Structure 1
Amino acid sequence: MEPALSAFELARIQFAFTVSFHIIFPALSIGLASFITVLEWRWLKTGKAYYKDLCLFWSKIFAVAFGMGVVSGVVMSYQFGTNWAGFSKFAGPITGPLLAYEVMTAFFLEAGFLGIMLFGWKRVGPRAHFGATLLVAIGTLISTFWILASNSWMQTPQGFTIADGHVVPVDWFKIIFNPSFPYRLAHMTLAAFIVAALVVAAVGAWHLLKGRRDPAVKKMFSMALWLLLILTPIQALVGDQHGLNTREYQPAKIAAIEGLWETEQGGTALNLFGIPDMEAETTRYAVSIPHLGSLILTHSWDGEIRGLKEFPKEDRPDSTVVFWSFRIMAGLGVLMILMSALSWWLRRRGRLFDAKWFHRFVVAMGPTGFISLLTGWVTTEVGRQPWVVYGVMRTSHAVSPLTAQQVGISLMAFVVVYFLVFGTGVYYMLKLMKNGPALPPAGQEVEHDTPHDTNKRPKRQPMPAPKHLIDA
């Protein structure tokens, strides 16, 4: 009896499972690293103690997220050799150096200064400590740069030739700065900041609902909502430009996202709702708005978008999946913009810290950044199929020569270990968030603190004059 799933299908499930766990931790740590840097800068500038309290509080959560991101990333990279040897052999001359650059420039920087950031409060001066925190934040952004360069090259490959069954780099500038890279880098970086801001805002809202009104809780809640008010509309604009780029270089992905089968002349409708049927080549129960697809995807009233029927069946992405993953991502994005607008309205009315209905809304929105991140990743990666390197190498040619039993056993092991290890880590982070930042001393709210005052030696007091001289 043959297994229900092939080794190829199980390998895809395993990679999707491990990368889904992995992606949420770097996204949170990228956003938190920059947030902690801003908090420490404000503490050094103002001397207000609650900024330091927030630094210490969010640094604990950052450390857990960073550690789990590193561990899950290492495990995920091993799969290139175990499950995807065909891909490693073919694309290794490009993806290998790009990932090595990430380790040499970003990971070494983060690892080198992370210890000072977390444990150096009483061991180095205030400026040195802030420098370490800043360098860790820069390291997370450099890591984003190289990872997105590698993945974007797989989406829109250029700057190479093929010889002896593998790619050969020809122009590294074109490889790194491939056509989709700027849009994907901006989109992912903004997504990381939004993920972290939603978590910070949700934690602040939780403690406001529990009755805390100290400066630390108010400040992190307010700062996160200001950031979301600025970034969510920008993210929508970046997403729009990313869509235009995708339509140019991956038209089949756009057709699958829209559930569009026929190329409509004189303007394309937008399917708001529907159930794409890959076998029948139609989108059932479609609810469409005429010309809106053209306006969004071509910025013109009668712009033409190619339908899926123009592509061979074996080259079509699974429209059923990406149609809904994209709509979940976009729908949550609209809710984020709405929440940010409501925060601005309440702030203007002086009710930001008192509107409990809004605080409940913010708590509920806390996990939506991760959901949007994952559905966006599904849209991008499933929409690229059946290619692992778009238009160059099929995913089916990238898999290692393994049996379904071998991959199935490793997949089950991954599922058990990941839920135990990372489930414990997530539980610990939630426990830290529930406890919240340190409370001010009883009966007062500490407003000022000398930066790194514990490092400074107490001033030497003048020696009193001898008593006989005083008497004289």
Structure 2
Amino acid sequence: MPDSLALDLARVQFGFTISFHIIFPAITIGLASYLAVLEGMWLYTRRTLYRDLYHFWAKIFAVNFGMGVVSGLVMAYQFGTNWSFFSEFAGSVTGPLLAYEVLTAFFLEAGFLGVMLFGWNRVGPGLHFFSTLAVAVGTLISTFWILASNSWMQTPQGFEIVDGRVVPTDWLAVIFNPSFPYRLLHMSVAAFLATALFVGASAAWHLLRGRDQPAIRKMFSMALWMMLIVAPAQALIGDLHGLNTLAHQPAKVAAMEGHWGGENEPGEGLPLLLFGWPDMAAETTRFAVGVPRLGSLILTHSWDGTIPGLKDFAAEDRPNATVVFWSFRVMVGLGLLMILLGGLGLVQRWRGRLYRSRWFLRFALAMGPAGLVAILAGWYTTEIGRQPWVVYGLMRTGEAVSPHAPGTLALSLGLFVVVYLFVFGAGIAYMLRLVRKGPVPDEGAEATPGGPGQQRHAMRPLSAVTEEH
């Protein structure tokens, strides 16, 4: 068995790096599709505000895309450095799935990204729009393969174990495992919501400062329409995802609900605990405040349904209910606020005060980071709720970690914290600086250096970001 401190440090290190990484692909997914919509509307209507918004958000997309690629490389290396036994055990499944992501999504994005960022005045409008669509589709294909790999670790199937290693026997079963459709849809919609909140908050910031321009109004309006439609849909998807999790990972659901078992008489149903503090040592949820029977209605769609409690599982097979209980509530609570924001936006639109109500604009601004926080909270719920398994029911996390000394892991973790805060902190600050500038009228109307008949040179994604001082 590995040193418990070394195991905890390895988990914290991976959790830290993935927490930084996941926010960048989420915004990349949403912004890529948003850019495709903006360019499509520009081609259809020829209204210059759509073109101006496209060039404004393309700069932010370029910065975000670059940070996402860099942060993702670190995670890939950690599978070999910190989780070598996992790679040895399950690499025949996870390795090809990640390779398919590179061969399909990454190559597609890389092939058309340059045309998308630098080809506005150098290629025809049809080819440029096709390039933007290709990048948007590439981000969704990338999501497909990454979620297929993670979902297989949650609900593995389509394999057999030979000589202590996983051997795939049915790739369709591996990819389309029981939890994959729900996770793919849930994560994709979460990315769209996080981007809509980011775009809406950016517009609200400018409106609060008196910059009431058609382009600002348009991106605020589009963001609120997105939230109005997609936030309630996400709640429905989450419910279906929860039912799937109850069928395949009941211990996770019990931790999410702080349900230990034996608290209620038969026929009473389960309460929905709004607040409480699951005590792992005492095997009870302290200070519980709940709504009678609502837990049964949500979890089983019946008035008096029951679910397994944490006491139905051996102590060594239980996830950390304290963390999972609260991370789940953060995600759900923010989701309800997103639905409220979309609904209030419809009311303000009907009253003709969508762009002038300062309290509503402040609410939209405050909700800017809510989508990313909800994604992180949901990811913690999913991953910590799977513990103590790295491949559910097959391999424990303690069996997957590489044999490193705690001091080595502590040193590398400290270096990660310092470097990440410096590098990505600077990148995020720069991206917010671009947001504060806002869209510039007629931006992109003139040809840029390197056009037809001019000197050409290779350019990197971040070269698409230009600033006038």
Which TM class, normalised by the smaller chain length?
Answer: over 0.9
Q: Which of 281, 306, 309 is the equivalent residue of 2:308? A: 306
SS in 2 for 1:288: strand
Residue aligning to 1:189: 188
Task: Write the mapping of 1:349-364 to structure 2, written as runs, cut at 5 A.
Answer: 349-364=351-366
- Which amino acid is the alignment partner of residue 68 of structure 1? M
Write the distance in 2 (CA, Å) between the matches of 1:42 and 1:290.
49
Opposite residue 353 of structure 1, the aligned amino acid is Y
Structure 2 equivalent of residue 17 of structure 1: 16
| CA deviation vs aligned residue, 1:132-180 (integer Å, no higher than 9, x gap) | 0000000000000000000000000001010111100011111000000
> Which residue in 2 is equivalent to 1:460?
none
Equivalent residue for 2:58? 59
Q: Could you tell me which residue of structure 2 aligns to residue 39 of structure 1?
A: 38
Tell me if the contact between 2:52 and 2:442 (Cα under 8 Å) persists in the aligned partners: no
Q: 1:331 aligns with which of 308, 311, 333?
A: 333
| Aligned residue type for 1:229 | L
- TM-score, L = length of structure 2: 0.93
**One-letter amino acid of the structure 2 residue matched with residue 42 of structure 1:** M
Change (3 A) 1:321 1:70: same
> For residue 286 of structure 1, what is the amino acid of its counterpart?
A
SS at match of 2:212: coil
Where do 1:195-206 residues align within 5 Å?
A: 195-206=194-205
Q: Note the residue ranges of structure 1 that are not aligned, 5 or more in a row.
A: 442-448, 458-472
Partner SS state of residue 179, structure 1: coil
**Structure 2 SS opposite 1:6:** helix
One-letter amino acid of the structure 2 residue matched with residue 315 of structure 1: D
How far did residue 450 of structure 1 move? 8.8
Cα distance in 2 for partners of 1:132, 1:406 equals 45
| Whole-angstrom distance in 2 between the partners of 1:214 and 1:6 | 55
Output one character per residue of 1:197-237: Cα deviation in whole Å (capped at 9) or x when no partner. Answer: 00000001111111112111010000010011000000000
SS in 2 for 1:438: coil
Residues in 2 aligned to 1:452 and 1:244: alpha-carbon distance in whole angstroms:
54
CA distance in 1, matches of 2:154, 2:290: 29
**Which structure 2 residues correspond to residues 89-168 of structure 1 after superposition, within 5 A?**
89-168=88-167
Give the ranges of 4+ consecutive aligned residues of structure 1 lying more than 4 Å apart after TM superposition. 449-457
Unaligned regions of 5+ residues in structure 2, if any? Answer: 454-469
Query: Aligned partners of 1:86, 1:453: CA distance in 2, in Å?
Result: 51
Q: What do the CA deviations read for 1:70-124 (whole angstroms, capped 9, x no partner)?
A: 1111111100000000100000000000000000000000011101100111110
Residue 353 of structure 1 aligns to a residue whose secondary structure is: coil
Aligned to 1:274: 276
Aligned partners of 2:446, 2:134: CA distance in 1, in Å?
A: 19
Q: Residue 451 of structure 1: CA displacement? A: 11
Say which SS state the counterpart of residue 160 (structure 2) adopts.
strand
Which sits farther off after the overlay, 426-435 or 285-294? 285-294
- Aligned partner of 1:381 in structure 2 is 383
Structure 2 CA distance for partners of 1:453 and 1:431, relative to 1, 3 Å: closer
Which residue does 2:296 correspond to in 1?
294
Give the match for residue 346 of structure 1. 348
Matched position secondary structure for 2:274: strand
Which one-letter code corresponds to 1:170 in the other structure?
T
Check conservation: 1:274, 1:286, Cα contact below 8 A. Answer: yes
Where 1:193 maps in the other structure, the secondary structure is helix
AA aligned to 1:402 is H
Q: 1:171 is matched by which residue type in structure 2?
A: D
Cα deviation per residue 1:265-304 (whole Å; 9 max; x = unaligned)?
3211111110000000000011122111110000001111
> Could you tell me which of 427, 435, 438 is aligned with 1:436?
438
Cα pair 1:332 1:372 within 8 Å, conserved? yes
| CA shift for structure 1 position 412 | 1.0
CA distance in 1, matches of 2:426, 2:107: 27
Are the counterparts in 2 of residues 47 and 451 from structure 1 also a CA contact under 8 Å?
A: no
User: Is the CA contact 1:10–1:408 (under 8 Å) kept in the aligned structure 2?
Assistant: yes
Please list the CA deviations of residues 317-341 of structure 1 after superposition, one character each: whole Å capped at 9, or x if unmatched. 0000010000011001000000100
Distance 1:340 1:451 in 2: 37
Question: Structure 1 residues 102, 354: closer, same or farther in 2, change over 3 A?
Answer: same
Give the partner amino acid of 1:342. L
Residues 1-43 of structure 1: per-residue CA shift (max 9 Å, x gap): xxx9721111001000000000000000000000000000000
Identical counterparts, % of pairs: 65
Q: Distance in 2 between matches of 1:67 and 1:453?
A: 22
**2:274, 2:290 within 8 Å by CA — same for their partners in 1?**
yes
1:322 corresponds in structure 2 to 324
Instruction: Name the structure 2 match of 1:72.
Output: 71
Distance 1:110 1:26, change over 3 A: same
**Cα separation, 2, equivalents of 1:313 and 1:411:** 29
Q: Which amino acid is the alignment partner of residue 180 of structure 1? A: S
Equivalent residue of 2:303, what SS? coil
Answer whether contact 2:330 2:374 (CA < 8 A) is retained.
yes
Cα offset for 1:439? 4.0
Distance, in Å, in 1 between the alignment partners of 2:438 and 2:311 is 54
Name 1:257's counterpart in structure 2.
Answer: 256
Which residue in the other structure is 1:469 paired with?
none
The aligned residue for residue 418 of structure 1 is: 420
Structure 2: distance between partners of 1:397 and 1:13: 16
For residues 140 and 298 of structure 1, the distance between their equivalents in structure 2, rounded to whole angstroms, comes to 35
Q: How many residues align?
A: 447
DSSP-derived class of the 1:149 partner? helix
2:464 corresponds to: none
CA distance in 1, matches of 2:111, 2:427: 23
Quote the RMSD (CA, aligned, Å).
1.8
